[in-house]
Amino acid sequence: MQRFGIRRKTLITLLGVAVPSLLAFSVLIIASTAHILQENASRRVRALADRSALELAELVERSRTTLRTMAASPELSAYRRAVADGDRRGIAATLPRLEQAFLGWQRLDPTLQAIRLIDPAGNVLVKVKEGMPNRAAGAPRPPYQLPAVHYVGGRDFFRSALTLPPDGILVSNLERGKVDEEESFCPAMVRFATPLKLEGTTVGVLVINVWGEQAGRLINRVIAEQEGSAFLVERTSADSARNGIYLFHRDAACQFGNQTGSRRTIFDDYPREITDAWLTSDHGIARDPRSRDILAHAYYSPYNRPDRGWVVVVNARRDFFLEPMATIGRLTALWAAVVVLVVALASVVFARSLTRPLQAVVEGIRRMGGRPEERIDSTSTDEVGFLAGEINRMADAIQQQAEERMRVEEQIRTTEKLASVGEMAAGLAHELNTPLGNIKALALLSRKELARGGCDPGALTADLDDIADQAAKCSGIIGGLLSFARRSAGRPADHDPAELVREALALVRLRAEQQQVTLRFEPQPSLPPLFVDADQLRQVFVNILLNAIDASPGGNVAIGLVPAPEELTITFRDTGCGIPDDQLDRIFDPFFTTKEVGQGTGLGLSVSYGMVQGMGGRIEVQSRPGAGSEFRVVVPWGTGRETNE
């Protein structure tokens, strides 16, 4: 049974279309999803940074509000009036009440680390720190001649606060404050200071220390640790020691590197192009080229300055926004596998539905090859059924054409054979005339002898033998011509190739004598027989010999047999005029002839070529104008036998 490659080709074609399409679609889906997730993550991370900066601003603004509220409290108003009255005892009397008020405010707001009242000279008159008052001690100090907790008049922060306008607020750096009189540092904090004015004169400075841990908690809760990190960076272009330091970070060891001695800054951890953006622009988002993390930043300045403030940075890990991609990738791969499986099954079903009727068509065509009367049995009504019907109709037409062609070819062969007989008729008449004349003369002589009554039995017997010989010669001539002219069933059999050549030479001998052409044939001894149709091959030889004789008047024609393992070559070499090059390719065409009108049909070589092809052989020709021609009839030894068997 013939196995078709349609199933394999269909499967390969469908998979070749489906798999690349699925891959392209999957890549497109994954890339689009990744892009969407990245855009959404970028917006979210930027929103986190912006919101964190806003919450820092709210923390700072709440501390400012607390400081303003304290500055406007009745206790500080009483302090201003006492200073305005120049009443030292009145000033001293307000200080205990301020101390109690500071303690109450600190209990209400746990973010307050310390509250201080400082006179214009820098003497700390009242201080409450971490829920405990710090008592003033020592000798009275000008300008109010009161004892002080300690002295801060030499500090830049205090001096800057004295120059502020009414209701102005000074904000310090966010740093770890140094513990008074000690080398240790307390937790991070920021100081807020506002001047206390009375009729344009500064009568003191109110300072609050706010714990930085609230800002630290705010930063640490911006993003979950498994999703990334957030940190607060200081931007201070005028102070290289502080510019780029970490103020808050999950890694506490790198915070306030300028004070703790770690010296670690953002420049140690991130590329310069990213850190430059943090220290120059208010908002932005970037991708870390090393880890592909998303980095969003937002700038806030409690000092209302573009070159000094705090930068909130949110570092979202790549998995933060690509985590859904794993699920999407698994689902995409699963559906791709399902689609590929469905396509494979569909291709197999489709191929089987196509190959089964095609198999029936092929088997039918194969049967028709052995038996032309066979036809394809197909009940299908689709395209394959239509194809089977068309093949059946084509087979009917081909069979009719083959029968008609065989009939026409047989007629052509008969016509050409009769034409050859006609060409040889004149020579045969002359050939018959001599023996017939001898018969007539011998008969007349015998009759005269009988009439005289002097018949010699011995002479009469000799005359009768001569008459019989001459009659036999005439019978042989007529028999050869009839044998050549009669129609044959065309059955191949074993024949001596040399004998077939001799029979053909006998048929054209008179034609050769008329044209004064010498026929030369020297057969090789012990050649194996040819399994061919003798009548057809003999007709081929006669056609070629007649053409050679007509082309070589006064010349000669040499016939040779050249055996080979698989085939026998019969050569016909003449000394005629040859064939022009422009006609050499046309000599086997039907009705092509170089003879004058009435001298030939133009079918001899065409018919001969067809008969030799039918034997499985071929006719080859070589010719040069003026140098003669050579025809080679090549016939396989056993082609006919193999076909017959």
Last residue of a domain, one of 160, 185, 215: 215
Instruction: Kindly state the helix (H) or strand (E) to which residue 76 belongs, with its residue range.
Output: helix 74-85
Consecutive H or E run containing 31? helix 6-71
Sign of CA dihedral 34, 36, 37, 39: positive
CA-to-CA distance for 206 and 191, rounded, in angstroms? Answer: 10
Can you give the pLDDT at residue 464? Answer: 76
Q: Which residue has the tokens 């191929």?
A: 351
Does residue 597 surpass a pLDDT of 50?
Answer: no
Quick one: 210 and 81 in the same domain?
yes
| Residues 533 and 472 grouped into a single domain | no
| Contacts of 26 by beta carbon, 8 Å cutoff, 6+ apart | 332, 333, 336
Q: For 125-156, what is each residue's pLDDT tens digit?
A: 999 999 999 999 889 999 999 999 999 999 99
Asked if 231 and 249 touch (Cβ cutoff 8 Å), the reply is: yes
Q: Are residues 513 and 529 in the same domain?
A: yes
Residue 187 CB partners (closer than 8 Å, separation 6+): 176, 211, 212, 213
Q: Are 510 and 470 in contact (CB under 8 A)?
A: no
**Which range of residues forms the domain containing residue 535?**
493-645
The whole-number pLDDT of residue 497 equals 92
Q: Tell me, what's the pLDDT at 118?
A: 96
Q: How do residues 307-318 score in pLDDT, each as one tens digit?
A: 999 999 999 988
pLDDT confidence of 626, banded at 50, 70, 90? confident
Highest mean pLDDT among 83-92, 268-277, 469-478, 622-631: 268-277
Instruction: Tell me the C-alpha to C-alpha distance, in Å, between residue 90 and each of 80, 85, 163, 482.
Output: 10, 9, 26, 170
Look up the CATH number of the domain holding residue 407: 1.10.287.130
- What is the 8-class DSSP label of residue 168? -
Residue 509 lies in a domain: yes
CATH number at residue 589: 3.30.565.10
Structural tokens at position 185: 């540092």
**pLDDT at site 426:** 52
Burial class of residue 604 in the structure, from the number of CB atoms within 10 Å of its CB (0-12 exposed, 13-18 middle, 19+ buried)? buried
Q: What CATH number did the domain enclosing 192 receive?
A: 3.30.450.20
Q: What is the pLDDT of residue 410?
A: 61
Note whether 137 and 131 are within 8 A (CB). Answer: no
How do beta strands 185-198 and 618-623 pair?
Answer: unpaired
> Which range is least confidently modeled, 6-15, 182-191, 281-290, 390-399?
6-15
Bridge partners for 68 per DSSP: none
Q: What is the pLDDT of residues 574-592, one digit of tens each?
A: 998 888 777 776 676 665 4
Looking at the fold, whether 478 and 516 belong to one and the same domain comes out as: no
What per-residue confidence (pLDDT) applies to 423? Answer: 55
Confidence of residue 109 (pLDDT cuts 50, 70, 90): very high
**SS3 (DSSP) at 124:** strand
Residues 532 and 460 in one domain: no
Residue 307 is assigned to a structural domain of this protein: no
> Band of the pLDDT at 640, cuts 50, 70, 90?
very low
In angstroms, rounded to a whole number, what is the distance separating the alpha carbons of residues 35 and 58? 34
Q: How confident is the model at residue 194 (pLDDT cuts 50, 70, 90)?
A: very high
Q: Is residue 437 part of a domain?
A: yes
Domain assignment present for residue 376? The answer is no
Instruction: Provide DSSP, 240-292.
Output: TTTTTBEEE-SSGGGBTHHHHS---BGGGTS-HHHHHHHTT-SEEEEE-TTT-
284-323 burial code (b ≥16 CB/10 A, e <16): bbbebeeeebbbbbbbbbbbeeeebbbbbbbbbbbebbbe
Q: How far, in Å, CA of 414 to CA of 427, rounded?
A: 21
Same domain, 556 and 453: no
| Residue that the structure tokens 């083959």 belong to | 402
- Angstrom distances, CA of residue 457 to CA of 63, 441, 446, 464: 175, 18, 10, 10
Residues 497 and 458 in one domain: no
Is residue 163, in this structure, part of any structural domain at all? yes
- Give the Cα separation of 566 and 561 in Å (integer): 14
- pLDDT score recorded for residue 74: 95
What gap in Å lies between CA 80 and CA 116, rounded to an integer? 15
Q: Is residue 430 scored above 60 in pLDDT?
A: no
Strand stretches in 101-245, DSSP E: 112-118, 124-129, 132-134, 137-141, 146-148, 170-171, 175-178, 185-198, 201-211, 228-236
73: exposed, middle or buried (Cβ count in 10 Å: 0-12, 13-18, 19+): middle
Q: How many domains does the chain have?
A: 3
Q: What long-range pairs does 330-334 form, CB within 8 A, spacing at least 24?
A: 332/26, 332/29, 332/30, 333/26
CA angle 17, 350, 341 (to 5 degrees): 55
Alpha carbon 170 to its chain's center: 69
Residues 561 and 622 in one domain: yes
pLDDT in tens, 210-258: 998 888 888 888 888 888 999 999 999 999 989 999 999 988 888 888 8
| Distance, C-alpha 376 to centroid of its chain | 41
User: What's the N-to-C CA distance of the chain in angstroms?
Assistant: 25
Q: Answer yes or no: is 112 within a domain.
A: yes
Q: Do 119 and 169 fall within a single domain?
A: yes
Q: What is the mean pLDDT of residues 480-492?
A: 58
Same domain membership, residue 504 and residue 476: no
Angle between helices 74-85 and 88-108 (to 10 degrees): 160
Q: Is 603 found in the same domain as 474?
A: no
Beta strands 518-521 and 556-563 are parallel
Cβ within 8 Å of residue 127, ≥6 positions away: 114, 115, 116, 117, 133, 134, 149, 150
- If you average pLDDT over residues 452-456, what whole number do you get? 67
Examine the fold and report which residue of 171, 198, 215 is the final residue of a domain before the chain moves on: 215
